[in-house]
Amino acid sequence: MQVKDWKNTHIYKVDHTLEVKERSQNKQSRINFDMGISCFIQGTSIQRIFTKENYRINSQPPKDHHIRLLCDLEQAMYPLIIEVTPYENYVKIPAYNLWKEDWRKKSQEVLKNKYKGDFAESLRIGYEKAMETEEKLKQKIQEEAFWRLYFLGISEDQKEKPCRWNVLKAGTLYFVGTVQTEIKENEINSRYIGSPQPWEDNFIENINQLLKLKKYTHAYITKEKMQANCEVTACWEKSTGKLLTKTAEIKVYSSDKKYSYSEKIEMNYHSISMRKISTPRTFSFFITEKEEESEKKADPHGR
């Protein structure tokens, strides 16, 4: 579905659930937040402006001091501007260096007002190093389930659609599958079903390490004992191109059920916000840089 311009911010409710079983241990978590998405188009450049609010873990604000700090450092990333193609595929982060400068200032304010000590500062520095280049920032955000779902295009029929998904603690899993679309009245529905590509040795080794299983023993889980599937669905308004809902569900498990991984993330359109997203100065600087480039081309001698 080719995206169209819109004047107001679209608010989506995002629900992310994760359940992992390692032998007799079951770990569950549920994360909810609101993601606001607005649109800015300048010439051929299509930019999405994202804001993240109302972060909840198991329906409650983060209580752990460490988790709260990490959430505050992440919140300083927003608003986040990403340039996309007409089909909503990732292109780049405009004016990355100016965005990084803004994040640094906001994160320092977070520590100044809420947290003290070397530990908090070390976390901030570690977070900054993880985003020290545009490529690293891209890799970081695409490790998150929301971004993997958002940028997985399934709006057109495809016979061999690849998909990569980061499985917590185990590594990256690669799928390939088909996309089928169906038009029903004013809705376009798409569905992707993926099967796992050949299992990587590191992935299998990581799972056995999680289960504390030694190699060359009967209990060791081999590639032949692993199964996985991936399903992604999406629904758009045909007339406007507005995304109504998009969901991804990934399951990974061993045949003996000693290991199982179930992850589901769903974004549902909730409402339109008339409130303008307050963009960081990187946004206005990006426009200025464009204007300066145009002026230089018109007069290369700067007269």
User: Which regions in the chain score pLDDT beneath 50?
Assistant: 280-303
Count how many Cα atoms sit within 13 Å of the Cα of residue 137 in the half-sphere of its side chain.
22
Residue 156 confidence (pLDDT): 86
Residue 36 DSSP code: E
Residue 296 confidence (pLDDT): 43
d(CA 122, CA 220): 38
Residue 287 confidence (pLDDT): 39
Residue 3 confidence (pLDDT): 61
Evaluate whether 38 touches 277 at the Cβ level (below 8 Å): yes
Q: List, for residues 139-170, the tens digit of each pLDDT value.
A: 888 889 999 999 999 988 999 999 999 999 99
Coil, strand or helix at 147: helix
Residue 277 confidence (pLDDT): 57
Q: Which two tokens stand for residue 140?
A: 């970081």
Say which residues have a Cβ less than 8 Å from residue 23's Cβ, sequence separation at least 6.
211, 258, 259
In this structure, the number of other CB atoms found within 10 A of the CB of residue 286 comes to: 22
Residue 301 DSSP code: T
Q: Which two tokens stand for residue 173?
A: 């899993």
Long-range contacts of 274-277 (CB under 8 A, 24+ apart): 274/8, 275/9, 276/9, 276/38, 277/9, 277/36, 277/38, 277/49, 277/51, 277/79
- Which domains, from first to last, does the chain contain? 9-272 (2.30.230)
Which residues on adjacent β-strands are paired with residue 36? 11, 51
Whole-prediction pTM value? Answer: 0.85
